[in-house]
Structure 1
Amino acid sequence: MMANAVSLTFPDGSVREYEADTSGRDIAGGISKSLLKKSVAYALDGEVRDLADPVGRAGAIEIITRDDPRALELIRHDAAHVMAEAVQELWPGTQVTIGPVIENGFFYDFARDTPFTPDDLPVIEKKMVEIIRRNAPFTKEVWSRDKAKAVFAEKGEAYKVELVDAIPEGQDLKIYSQGDWFDLCRGPHMAATGQIGDAFKLMKVAGAYWRGDSNNPMLTRIYGTAWATKEQLAAYLHMLEEAEKRDHRRLGREMDLFHFQEDAPGTVFWHPKGWRLYQTLVSYVRRRQEAEGYQEVNAPQLLERSLWETSGHWEKYHEDMFVTETEDERVFALKPMNCPGHVQIFKHGLKSYRDLPLKIAEFGAVHRYEPSGALHGLMRVRAFTQDDAHVFCTEEQITAESLKINDLILSIYRDFGFEDVLVKLSTRPEKRVGSDELWDKAEASMRDVLAIIEEQGKGHITTAVAEGDGAFYGPKYEYTLRDAIGRQWQVGTNQVDFNLPGRFGAFYIDRDSEKKTPVMLHRAMLGSVERFIGILIENCAGHLPLWLSPLQVVVATITSEADDYALQVAEELRQAGLQVETDLRNEKINYKVREHSMAKVPVIMVCGKREAEERTVNIRRLGAREQTPMALDDAVAALADEAVPPDLKRRQEARRKVA
């Protein structure tokens, strides 16, 4: 019998006993030499640990190999340390600060008199390869606070001394070494630098203030990416190339949709074509939600501070709100969200349980202060429009209404070509409002809905549960789309709120003639209209479907002899409901086609003398090399049918079936 035995449960369900001081490396080696060779770390009850760490207690153990998805974060973490070592070998005296893992990679911030440039990256990469080939083991020590400060101060690492001071008393100060180089780090790490591999690349340099504070010194940040295999790295770099080609800011200029300027940071200047796209999208959503019983409203942009205090937004968000004070000393704020205004509309007039669910929707313009460095085209702005709605319902209606919201959201995404969707349920956080009984009911109903979503969407819809990630006022669903090049975008949401209606004293009269507080479902399908347009543009690389395209057809002439006919063609297309322009310039047709293709016009109709005589057109589709000749009447009818929005097309088909 072992003196300090602990029971470890393996993934296959088997249970074995080990001494508490047995390391993960010893356990892997005891299973097989081949497993030890592949091992990079281990997990105990889901917590990833260094392979050299003793298990210490009983639990469920997993040996993590390099091809395990969890190893990817370790690869990136280790690559960051190797990059820092490479920089200090190449440029002694450079101070290292922080170097975390981020999505798809890592970065490290450096303090150096001469900032790094992109030309330095290949030199650093070459040194990193050399360090990785040394295959130095990662080792961990725990230092006292005084020792850590003294060592880093002696090395001239002032930023590290400051970081040591910031670590709470009683927390271990871990020092990880790789050969002679070491750094302050929480860990964990893989066994040795050689396990990083060669699937990494340094991407760019940027300025970054120490601790994100503009009052602090400017550092140089070097970004990198690292993957388990070269194939994964190549796929990621290809995705970045595609993303650059699809950048909605560039395409927005080429398509003449919108622009930004410093006079109004984070706000969109919509051009005629862009505004037409915007309005087409809004009209589509408006039709979809009206068909589901939503009533559209419009709440004020400017509301007094007292209302935001009641809602709780002043305490939590006032630093991100645009605030103004009038001469009579009243403080107002531009609304950052639509919820409080909708509660006021609900409260206006007595409501009965028979009125529920009551569905209030608004294309609400909201304003939020985003740091200037975070602004990014349509994707991150300070002024945007939410396709916001709030469903006031009873507790018993949460399940049914959540399912209706889900069906509507997924149907809308399908209409825009998004089939691959992740629906995530986030449950109660530690700090929350409302009784546990109420949370139990809400979460139970939302788990039921999630099961239905998973069953109905097999093959396309993925579901997940994020325990503890819900809002303080209730659980929520988050809808994440995967675009054509594999990127994920969180857009829609459905949040259950037990809190806000009660804070404002909203109530309805129940069956027993008693006052009762309604539950409020916060629903957004596109999220930000502006951001969704940016996602759409990038998803289809500007090749918008005909029904959504702000300019659907350009009628271009080969010769001036066809000008009158081209004008006639354009008019017939307009009469059929299409958005049309003519190009009668005295330019070669290939030049015209190339120019309009760059502007992502879906259809170019080419007309010459023969087409005018025969009442035909040559149709060139965006991205196609060949032209298709068609009779004018047939072409107009075909394009008019194609330009019908998908929801209206379904109505047409339903009417045909009835007829």
Structure 2
Amino acid sequence: MKITLKDGSSKEYASSMSVIDIAKDISEGLARVACAGEIDGERVDLRHVVDKDCTLSILTFDDKGGRDAFRHTTSHIMAQAIKRLWPDVKLAIGPSIDDGFYYDIDSERPITEEDFPAIEAEMKKIAKEDLKLERFELPRADAIKMMEDAKEPYKVELIQDLPEDAVISFYKQGDFTDLCAGPHLMSTKNVKAVKLMKVAGAYWRGNEKNKMLTRIYGTSYTKASDLEDYLTKLEEAKKRDHRKIGKEMGLFMMADEGPGFPFFLPNGMILRNELMKYWREVHYRNGYQEIETPVMLNQSLWITSGHWDHYSENMYTSMIDDEMFCIKPMNCPGSILVYKNQPRSYRELPIRYAEVGLVHRHEKSGALHGLMRVRAFHQDDAHEFIAMDQIGEEVEHIVKLINEVYEKLEFKYTIELSTMPEDHMGSLEDWEKATNGLKSALEKMGLPYEINEGDGAFYGPKIDFHVEDCLGREWQCGTIQLDFQLPQNFDLKYTGSDGAEHMPVMIHRVVFGSVERFIGVLTENCAGKFPTWLSPIQVKVLPISDKYFDYSEKVLEKLKSAGIRAEIDTRSEKIGYKIREARLQRVPYMLILGQKEEEAGNIAVRSRYLGDEGSKDLDAFIKDLRVEIDERIMRKEEVSEQAEK
């Protein structure tokens, strides 16, 4: 039996072996930190027996699959602890999620955060008991009976809804058994660093018509020090919450009259417009033509595109003259109509249409979150129409553009290649061709990437760009999707050099994704301290007293004449208070003006970057500032906020 490991090396064994035994054979150290295994892309328990040639990865907490197994086990430990404390509680679902886990429960007794110490204490007991997690399978009828006997109605419903040929598996740890596909850790003893985070409401199966359950969130780590680091980052994340900063800086607001539909305020519009001005410059330089397509189009278009079959539950509709129209959830069908507007030749390819289109997608109210999860947003789309032999070159061109934008905004990123989902359009041959086209382009550029099996769009595989913020969180923003399906659905053609008609390949591509979401990510990444070129207010003029208002007004007028976004604070407040207010607004530059400055005809500069920058000539300051803005220079902050106080 030949086992190929993820580093490309291989091991051969005369007989079958468990994953944990193979891990021990590789290294005792690896076996000690192993959480699960992955055989030919499928995650399994460490006790799983390998009996044939395969590719094997030993997953640790450093791997996503390992973390999922670790935290999924923690959710079972929490459920067991809750059942010990309150036996009448009914269990629903308890998966691992990014940064932790949750469990949905149905309890007549309200469970609140005040109960967390008792639950955590019971979880620690369960960990110390070193309970082995044992997997077993049952036929459907036996599985249903077992859960009925245990008085677990939600588990019964889950089993009843499984496909007829589904494997129905359970995990047992001591006196606790739960319906679960796994994988899990081998024992509860490995889960030592746990923190329960919050309680929320969640409808059973996400359906607002169903009962509201109690959702308990938590997280867990292999080391207490790592948990402490995470909690520290979480506190920092609260300070950086874009909803809090957005309110302080007057960027955006939400209203009860339109949940999930953000309102951009004057400062927020400046930020968005400056960001998109840069976006347009980059796209014009890279050969894109900007278009705008209607927000609402006839249902027949969405049926042809396939969106109606795959996405209708997320679309808003309206009847006009007895015909159904749909508010667009995506921009692509509109771009296709622009392409079809006239005959096309191979000489025009690649055709690159860019559109900052307003799209609407229905999200459940419980999923809405500031600018990060909304129902209406601007998508910075581009749709490209190319010949088959242009795929590699064009994908490379797009990756370079995305890299330029992310580097300018100082975001690191990772790349993920998502392959064919179960719910897809088109032939396997087309999917294979498209996927290989993306792979070869990335490999030609020497870019590392991970495969995300089955997470492509329904019409084609895609490359996702995950930007990493200063807290180490990843956000999926940029995307490149190859599409052979929509050109076929809409019968797109171009005349080739041979005089015959050919079908183009379509590329769907975004840099920011949702512009609103990207602004939220950018806000949290820099804690609202935007680079000067993006800052809504670039300079705040602060007269020490009303005696210097006239001089301050002249300074303000000169700044504005130079195209600098400047404001003056003429309130009868002490200068220290005015400085603190400007700092709260994250203004890059403050000009302190008093008798000395007026007599010398200059300014005293205090910046977010260096603190007190001393006395400067106004014209020289304006000249330097214009260079900083025009060249979009990202100055580094070299003075701490504490030092400034």
**TM-score, structure 2 normalization:** 0.91
- Evaluate the alpha carbon distance shift between residue 637 and residue 528 of structure 1 in structure 2; reply closer, same or farther with a 3 A threshold: same
Determine if contact 2:434/2:483 at 8 Å carries over to the other structure.
no
Deviation larger for 31-40 or 437-446: 31-40
Match of 1:123 in 2: 118
Match of 1:154 in 2: 149
% identical aligned pairs: 43
**Which AA in structure 2 matches 1:555?**
V
Provide the aligned C-alpha RMSD in A.
Answer: 2.7
- Evaluate the alpha carbon distance shift between residue 139 and residue 314 of structure 1 in structure 2; reply closer, same or farther with a 3 A threshold: closer
**Which AA in structure 2 matches 1:117?**
T
Deviation larger for 103-112 or 211-220: 211-220
Distance 1:78 1:173 in 2: 18
Instruction: Give SS of 1:569's match.
Output: helix
Deviation larger for 126-135 or 443-452: 443-452
**1:454-500 CA deviation, whole Å, 9 max, x = no partner?**
36xxxxxx423335543343332221111111111111112122222
Confirm or deny that 1:205 pairs with 2:199: yes
Instruction: Give SS of 1:189's match.
Output: coil
Match of 2:292 in 1: 298
Picking from 492, 495, 517, the partner of 1:509 is 495
Confirm or deny that 1:582 pairs with 2:568: yes
Confirm or deny that 1:227 pairs with 2:221: yes
- Evaluate the alpha carbon distance shift between residue 394 and residue 243 of structure 1 in structure 2; reply closer, same or farther with a 3 A threshold: same
Distance 1:312 1:10 in 2: 40
- Evaluate the alpha carbon distance shift between residue 602 and residue 443 of structure 1 in structure 2; reply closer, same or farther with a 3 A threshold: same
- Evaluate the alpha carbon distance shift between residue 104 and residue 613 of structure 1 in structure 2; reply closer, same or farther with a 3 A threshold: same
**Which AA in structure 2 matches 1:403?**
E
Deviation at 1:171, TM superposition (A): 3.8
Match of 1:410 in 2: 403
Match of 2:14 in 1: 17
Match of 1:192 in 2: 187
Deviation at 1:382, TM superposition (A): 1.3
Match of 1:654 in 2: none
Confirm or deny that 1:176 pairs with 2:171: yes
Picking from 147, 150, 162, the partner of 1:167 is 162
**1:267-309 CA deviation, whole Å, 9 max, x = no partner?**
1211111111111111111111112221112212221111221
Picking from 464, 477, 484, the partner of 1:491 is 477
Instruction: Give SS of 1:99's match.
Output: coil
Distance 2:622 2:359 in 1: 40
**1:209-260 CA deviation, whole Å, 9 max, x = no partner?**
2222222222111111011222321222222112111111111110011101
Determine if contact 2:355/2:380 at 8 Å carries over to the other structure.
yes
> Structure 2 unaligned runs (5+)?
635-645
Match of 2:211 in 1: 217
- Evaluate the alpha carbon distance shift between residue 487 and residue 160 of structure 1 in structure 2; reply closer, same or farther with a 3 A threshold: same
Instruction: Give SS of 2:366's match.
Output: helix
Distance 2:10 2:360 in 1: 53
**Which AA in structure 2 matches 1:204?**
K
Match of 1:389 in 2: 382
- Evaluate the alpha carbon distance shift between residue 500 and residue 82 of structure 1 in structure 2; reply closer, same or farther with a 3 A threshold: same
Deviation at 1:27, TM superposition (A): 6.0
Confirm or deny that 1:314 pairs with 2:300: no
Distance 2:501 2:184 in 1: 58
- Evaluate the alpha carbon distance shift between residue 95 and residue 422 of structure 1 in structure 2; reply closer, same or farther with a 3 A threshold: same
Determine if contact 2:254/2:262 at 8 Å carries over to the other structure.
yes
Deviation at 1:615, TM superposition (A): 1.4
Larger Rg: 1
**1:591-625 CA deviation, whole Å, 9 max, x = no partner?**
01111111111111111111111112121122755
Match of 2:372 in 1: 379
**Which AA in structure 1 matches 2:340?**
K
Instruction: Give SS of 2:630's match.
Output: coil
Match of 2:358 in 1: 365
Match of 2:641 in 1: none
- Evaluate the alpha carbon distance shift between residue 55 and residue 302 of structure 1 in structure 2; reply closer, same or farther with a 3 A threshold: closer
Picking from 68, 72, 80, the partner of 2:75 is 80
Picking from 408, 413, 417, the partner of 1:425 is 417
Instruction: Give SS of 1:643's match.
Output: helix
Distance 2:563 2:151 in 1: 71
Confirm or deny that 1:349 pairs with 2:349: no
Distance 2:104 2:218 in 1: 12
Match of 2:249 in 1: 255
> Structure 1 unaligned runs (5+)?
1-5, 456-461, 649-659
Deviation larger for 373-382 or 539-548: 373-382
Distance 1:439 1:509 in 2: 24
**Which AA in structure 2 matches 1:408?**
L
Deviation larger for 277-286 or 614-623: 614-623
Distance 1:473 1:317 in 2: 12
Instruction: Give SS of 2:449's match.
Output: strand
Match of 2:130 in 1: 135
Distance 2:125 2:433 in 1: 58
Distance 1:168 1:583 in 2: 67
Determine if contact 1:40/1:195 at 8 Å carries over to the other structure.
no
Determine if contact 1:267/1:382 at 8 Å carries over to the other structure.
yes
Distance 1:260 1:474 in 2: 35
- Evaluate the alpha carbon distance shift between residue 308 and residue 161 of structure 1 in structure 2; reply closer, same or farther with a 3 A threshold: closer
Distance 1:160 1:519 in 2: 46
**Which AA in structure 1 matches 2:607?**
R
Determine if contact 2:34/2:66 at 8 Å carries over to the other structure.
no
Picking from 580, 597, 603, the partner of 1:611 is 597
Distance 1:617 1:177 in 2: 73
User: Alignment length, in residue pairs?
Assistant: 633
Distance 2:45 2:428 in 1: 38
Determine if contact 1:542/1:600 at 8 Å carries over to the other structure.
yes
Instruction: Give SS of 2:10's match.
Output: coil
- Evaluate the alpha carbon distance shift between residue 274 and residue 474 of structure 1 in structure 2; reply closer, same or farther with a 3 A threshold: same
Matches within 5 A, 1:281-296: 281-296=275-290
Determine if contact 1:25/1:51 at 8 Å carries over to the other structure.
yes
Distance 1:520 1:563 in 2: 59
Distance 1:10 1:308 in 2: 45
Confirm or deny that 1:520 pairs with 2:506: yes
**TM-score, structure 1 normalization:** 0.90
Instruction: Give SS of 1:14's match.
Output: strand
Match of 1:451 in 2: 443
